Amino acid sequence: MARVLVVDDERSMREYLEILLRKMGHVATTVADCGSALRLAENQEFDLVLSDLRIGKESGIEVLRAFKTAQPDTEVVMITAFATMENAIEAMKLGAYDYVTKPFKNEELWLIVQKALEKHQLQRENESLRIQLSSRGRVAGMVGDSAAMKEVYSLIEKVAQSRTTVLVVGESGVGKELVARAVHSKGPRATGPFVPINCGAIPEGLVESELFGHVRGAFTGATVDRPGLFKAAGGGTIFLDEVGELPLPTQVKLLRAIQDRRVKPVGGNRDIEVDARIIAATNRDLAEEVKEGRFREDLYYRLNVIQVFVPPLRRRREDILPLAEHFIAVHSSEKGCAHLSMSKEASSYLQSYDWPGNVRELENAIERAVTLTEGAIIQPDMLPPQIRGVQPVPEGEVTLPPGGIDLQAYLDALERRFLQMALVRAGGVKKEAAKLLGLTFRSMRYRLAKQGLSSPRSNDGDDGDE
């Protein structure tokens, strides 16, 4: 059963088509003018449109255009009198599936409708197949198809269905919280709350009441009963971020919460039941913390039932550029600017850098570059200096004289030196010199002019702008 729109100003034709379509088992909507059809194009989905080419004084081409814009997958078949044959051909060019010439036989129209709908169906199936394929092994919101991340995705799928405690480990900024959210949202608790808590960010004296709640009068300032985050995460997931930072006494209580699914609010004498799934994360080596006596061994084993290790970005370099692309898209649209692209050189800097701050550092670098870039292409000089291999100035290499310095004059002098050295090494070719300094050609030219280093007649190998 397909949804078909009939557009014709002739009433008899509308009625005839409606009957025919109903006989074929489809649902027909009929309208008599172009305006109504255009409104429907915006508001209602159809699988097929049958439109007269001449609707009173208006043209069926408008209907075709509207549908190809608003519902590109909808097939449009034009009905035409011999006199409008030329328009029929134009319609085909604009994406109509086919046309029938009046007068036509029932079977003729029947066949065209059948074929158009088959094509439509096939397209749909392809589309859903494509979406399935591209998302296979992917987790919503997570970018990167490296083998290492695929393993992470499949582990997420596996653990999401259960309520097993999961420990997410990995360096800072690798995406541990994102993994925790994915485990939550892929599982049966997705409609419940996801309650994140950064165990390292809460003052030691307050952690317990934050997690397990407190009763009125438990301590100064506790003027009302508070349920605590474990309770708040009921039916959902509590995410204990930086779990390695938990004070030892709180660790004991957490252990109990996991074992007995009960917690005792601070100052209370009655246990309350909790039903939150627990996901914990840490960038510390918890086994090592256990050895050092900073983390309880029993709690470690309780949390570490299933471990998801998110590898550092430098161990999955093939994810760098797709992630960069993703962040360019995110931040360009956030800033309402056009979608930028990345120059080859900038890309190669990104790929060879080690990313100690992992995905978060990459995201920050891209966000900064998107903000700074004025043209359409992100050039290397828009990337943070450390990514371009600029070493921090070593201790002792420069000194601040007792009387201080004129920083700007000093930097100008330094810039002048570098510009000269680069020009000499590049044999005077500005474009090459710019590369040595990680500058765009335009920026190089500007700096040379500012420093009074550009030759009056630019005849030195730079063939125009970048």
Binding residues for ligand ATP (CB under 6 A): 142-144, 170, 172-178, 283, 323, 326, 359-360, 363
Choose among Mg ion, ligand ATP, none what residue 144 binds, the Cβ cut-off being 5 to 8 Å by kind.
ligand ATP
Q: Does 284 bind Mg ion (CB under 5 A)?
A: no
Site string for Mg ion, 127-166 (x = CB under 5 A): ----------------------------------------
Residue 371's SS3 state is helix
Largest Cα–Cα separation, the chain: 101
Closest to ligand ATP by CB, 326 vs 445, is 326
Query: Which residues are CB-contacts of 264 (< 8 A; sequence separation ≥ 6)?
Result: 212, 253, 270, 271, 272
75 binds, among ligand ATP, Mg ion, none (CB under 5 to 8 A by kind): none
Cis peptide, bond prior to residue 456, ω within 30 of zero: no
Closest approach of Mg ion to the CB of residue 199, in Å: 11
Measured from the CB atom, is 177 or 460 closer to Mg ion? 177
**Joined tokens for residue 224:** 């009302």
Q: Is-contact 203 315, C-beta < 8 A?
A: no
Q: How far is the CB of 295 from Mg ion (least distance, A)?
A: 18
* CB closer to Mg ion out of 50 and 359: 359
323 versus 439: smaller Cβ distance to ligand ATP: 323
For the bound state, the minimum distance from the C-beta of residue 273 to ligand ATP, rounded and expressed in Å, comes to 29
List the one residue out of 30, 31, 8 whose CA is nearest residue 19. Answer: 30
Angle, to 10 degrees, between the axis of helix 344-352 and the axis of helix 320-334? 120
Residue 210 contacts which entry, Mg ion, ligand ATP, none (Cβ below 5-8 A, type-dependent): none
Q: What's the closest the beta carbon of residue 171 comes to ligand ATP, in angstroms? A: 7
Least separation in angstroms between CB 330 and ligand ATP: 9
Nearer to ligand ATP, 20 or 362 (CB): 362
DSSP per residue, 149-166: HHHHHHHHHHHHTS---E
Stretch that binds Mg ion, among 22-30, 171-179, 268-276, 417-425 (CB under 5 A): 171-179
Helical (H) or strand (E) element with 55 = strand 54-55
Say whether residue 177 binds Mg ion (CB under 5 A).
Answer: yes
Among ligand ATP, Mg ion, none, the one that 296 touches (CB under a kind-dependent 5 to 8 A) is: none
> Could you give the count of Cα atoms lying within 13 Å of 247 in the half-sphere of its Cβ?
12
Q: Least distance in Å: CB of 241 to Mg ion?
A: 5
Q: Least distance (Å) from ligand ATP to the CB of residue 207?
A: 17
Instruction: Give whichever of 192 and 196 is closer to ligand ATP, judged by the CB atom.
Output: 196
Q: CA 54, 60, 66: angle at the middle one, nearest 5?
A: 165
Pick what 173 binds: Mg ion, ligand ATP, none; C-beta below 5 to 8 Å, kind-dependent. Answer: ligand ATP
Does 196 help bind Mg ion (rule: CB under 5 A)?
A: no
Q: Residue 285 or residue 412: which is nearer to Mg ion going by CB?
A: 285
Which does residue 359 touch among ligand ATP, Mg ion, none (CB within 5 to 8 A, set by kind)?
A: ligand ATP
Host H or E run for residue 234: none
Distance CA 70, CA 73 (A): 9
375-395 burial: b if 16+ Cβ within 10 Å, else e: eeebbbbbbeeebeeeeeeee
Selected range binding Mg ion among 53-61, 132-140, 177-185, 263-271, rule: CB under 5 A: 177-185
- 218, amino acid identity: A
CA dist 437 and 426 (Å) reads: 11
Which CB sits closer to ligand ATP, 33 or 151? 151
* Binding partner selected for residue 175 from Mg ion, ligand ATP, none, CB under the kind-specific 5 to 8 Å limit: ligand ATP
238 close to 230: Cβ distance less than 8 angstroms: yes
- Shortest Cβ contact with ligand ATP: which residue? 175
Q: How far apart are CA 55 and CA 79, in angstroms?
A: 10
Handedness of CA 323, 326, 330, 333 (dihedral sign): positive
- With CB cut-offs between 5 and 8 Å by kind, which of ligand ATP, Mg ion, none does residue 143 bind? ligand ATP
Contact 56, 33 (CB under 8 A): yes
Nearer to Mg ion, 358 or 379 (CB): 358
- In the bound state with Mg ion, the residue whose beta carbon lies nearer, of 34 and 149, is 149
- Cβ of residue 181: shortest distance to ligand ATP, in angstroms? 8
Angle at 199 between CA 196 and CA 201, to 5 degrees: 100
**Which residues in this chain contact Mg ion in the complex, by CB under 5 A?**
177
